[in-house]
A and B are shown apart, each in its own frame.
Chain A
Amino acid sequence: MLSLAAKVVCTYRGAMSIWEYANPKKFMQASGTVLPWVAVLSAICLFGGLIWGFFFTPDAINFGATVKIIYLHVPAAMMAINAWAMMLVASLIWLVRRHHVSALAAKAAAPVGLTMTLIALLTGAIWGQPMWGTWWAWDPRLTSFLILTLFYLGYLALWQAVENPDTAADLTSVLCIVGSVFALLSRYAVNFWTQGLHQGASLSLDKKENVSDVYYLPLLLCIAGFVLLFLSLVLLRTRTEIRSRRLAALRLRERLA
């Protein structure tokens, strides 16, 4: 009984340990160790996946050689939505627990998410032209992605517009919660609006719905590469934000002295 209680306490302590990284010093130490490994792994997955997909997969019957765009379009679209989800979690942590690192991590993730959204829109438009005969259509998924892009731009603009960092973090967190509706809509729009041009999800647990194995495996590698790229860029940019915050504090102290 005593050993069970000890185990529960250990598990509880283990679960709590994530909050240690709310300390900027601890975060800088841990992220400094992890970052090079994540960056190298990301490069390996991205190069491997893209080279495999581009050079060693056959043309699809319905898409021809344009199927090669899937290795950029799908991972970028996934990350565009997941980046916003990460920002939402970080924003909620800021609003509830007031950990500065989480607010800075959300801020750091926004340009990465925006880039992923732009890649998804760009590759989608280029792919759509030969397949649908148009660069753009007011299709539910395309439109919700466009709105998500505007939310990313608004989020970044709000951080720049408000001088007090804590007020900026508060306001951007609220904006992030509101924008989550569109992030969710971007993901599920094709499921409940069937009149659009965009096809259903490429990845599915249903074997019949899922893309063929010959495309699936390099696609998985590309997705892993994009996730790791996102992680390494967010870590790098969060470190920059923490340094930047400290720099501002030291400069202020210098001026007041």
Chain B
Amino acid sequence: MDMGKYTQVVMWSYAGSIALILALIVVSLWQSARTRRALREVEGRIGKTDV
């Protein structure tokens, strides 16, 4: 696939955007897992499991 003189322009756009989206997904999943683990721990201690 030949993009000529615009190869770098297109590649940087895709790389930057995909990196931002992946970072957002990874951070969201990490925060979700961390909160869920902490909640389970506290609920286990006091014996409540509502949410």
Which listed residue, B10, B20, B29, B43, touches A65 by the CB 8 Å rule?
Answer: B10
Number of interface residues of B (CB under 8 A): 34
In the bound complex, CA of A193 to CA of B31 (Å): 42
Q: Which residues of A contact B35 (CB under 8 A)?
A: 240, 243-244, 247
Q: CB distance B20 to A119 under 8 Å?
A: yes
In the bound complex, CA of A72 to CA of B7 (Å): 16
Q: CB distance A123 to B42 under 8 Å?
A: no
Q: Which residues of B contact A65 (CB under 8 A)?
A: 3-4, 6-7, 9-10
Task: Digitize A237-254: 1 where CB-to-B-CB distance is under 8 Å, 0 elsewhere.
Answer: 101101110110011011
Q: Which residues of A contact B45 (CB under 8 A)?
A: 254
Q: CB distance B10 to A240 under 8 Å?
A: no
With an 8 A cutoff between CB atoms, is A236 at the interface? yes
Which listed residue, A122, A240, A244, A253, touches B20 by the CB 8 Å rule?
Answer: A122
Q: 16 A-B Cβ contacts within 8 A?
A: A28-B51, A59-B3, A65-B4, A65-B6, A68-B13, A123-B17, A127-B13, A130-B9, A229-B21, A237-B32, A243-B32, A243-B39, A246-B50, A246-B51, A247-B39, A254-B45
Q: Which residues of B contact A130 (CB under 8 A)?
A: 5-6, 9
B-side residues, CB < 8 A to A, are: 1, 3-7, 9-10, 12-14, 16-17, 20-21, 23-25, 27-29, 31-32, 35-36, 38-39, 42-43, 45-46, 48, 50-51
Q: Which residues of A contact B51 (CB under 8 A)?
A: 24-25, 28, 242-243, 246
Q: CB distance A64 to B25 under 8 Å?
A: no
Number of interface residues of A (CB under 8 A): 40
Q: CB distance A64 to B6 under 8 Å?
A: yes
Which listed residue, B1, B10, B13, B38, touches A247 by the CB 8 Å rule?
Answer: B38
* A33 CB to nearest chain B CB (Å): 15
* A116 CB to nearest chain B CB (Å): 9
* A145 CB to nearest chain B CB (Å): 15
If A66-B6, A254-B45 touch, does A236 touch B32 (CB 8 Å cutoff)?
yes
